[in-house]
């Protein structure tokens, strides 16, 4: 028995006979049939066309529009008020610049404005609700706290 396993070798070190289907089992349909012609082998593989860079890169995305949507996302996640205000400032600036230059990014600027405004309104509403809840809680305990 060799130190490493070889294909076709069993545990006892004897070579296994090539596997052929038993006589009672028909050969699989994918197996080559006796006497069947073999398919022709292509001489050369088809060549892919060489890639070339486009002559014109296309419209650019406006940086202010991109910053507006990033500020709006930051306003939703990590900087609730500051990011929303930034989106509300950068969005209209980006829209004005897009109208002048014809760059892409209009939807980014619009969604930055929408998301920034919605986040700012939701933040203000939560602050108002928190203050009124706190004030009503203090008023409900006022008789208990009075001497």
- What pLDDT is recorded for position 6? 59
Residue 31 has pLDDT above 80, yes or no: no
- What pLDDT is recorded for position 110? 97
The DSSP annotation for 26-80 comes to PPPTTSPPTTPPPPPPPSSPPPPPPP---SS--PPBPHHHHHHHHHHHHHHHT-H
- Please, which pLDDT band fits residue 65 given cuts at 50, 70 and 90? very high
14 in a structural domain: no
Q: What is the mean pLDDT of residues 126-131?
A: 96
7 in a structural domain: no
Q: What is the mean pLDDT of residues 41-51?
A: 71
- What pLDDT is recorded for position 101? 92
138 in a structural domain: yes
- What pLDDT is recorded for position 95? 97
34 in a structural domain: no
Residue 23 has pLDDT above 70, yes or no: no
Residue 144 has pLDDT above 70, yes or no: no
Q: Which domain holds residue 99?
A: 63-145
Domain count, the chain: 1
- Please, which pLDDT band fits residue 8 given cuts at 50, 70 and 90? low
Give me the chain's average pLDDT, please. 81
39 in a structural domain: no
2 in a structural domain: no
100 in a structural domain: yes
What digits encode the pLDDT tens for the residues 67-122?
999 999 999 999 989 999 999 999 999 999 999 999 999 999 999 999 999 999 99
Structure tokens at 7: 């294909």
12 in a structural domain: no
């Amino acid at each position: 028995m060799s130190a490493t396993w070889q294909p076709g070798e069993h545990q006892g070190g004897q070579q296994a006979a090539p596997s052929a289907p038993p006589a009672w089992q028909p050969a699989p349909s994918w197996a080559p049939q006796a006497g069947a012609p073999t398919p022709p082998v292509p001489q050369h593989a088809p060549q892919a066309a060489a890639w070339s860079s486009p002559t014109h890169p296309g419209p650019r995305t406006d940086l202010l529009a991109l910053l507006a949507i990033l500020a709006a996302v930051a306003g939703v996640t990590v900087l609730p008020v500051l990011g929303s205000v930034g989106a509300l400032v950068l969005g209209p600036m980006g829209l004005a610049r897009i109208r002048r230059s014809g760059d892409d990014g209009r939807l980014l600027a619009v969604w930055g404005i929408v998301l920034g405004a919605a986040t700012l309104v939701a933040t203000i509403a939560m602050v108002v609700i928190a203050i009124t809840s706190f004030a009503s809680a203090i008023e409900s305990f006022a008789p208990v706290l009075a001497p």
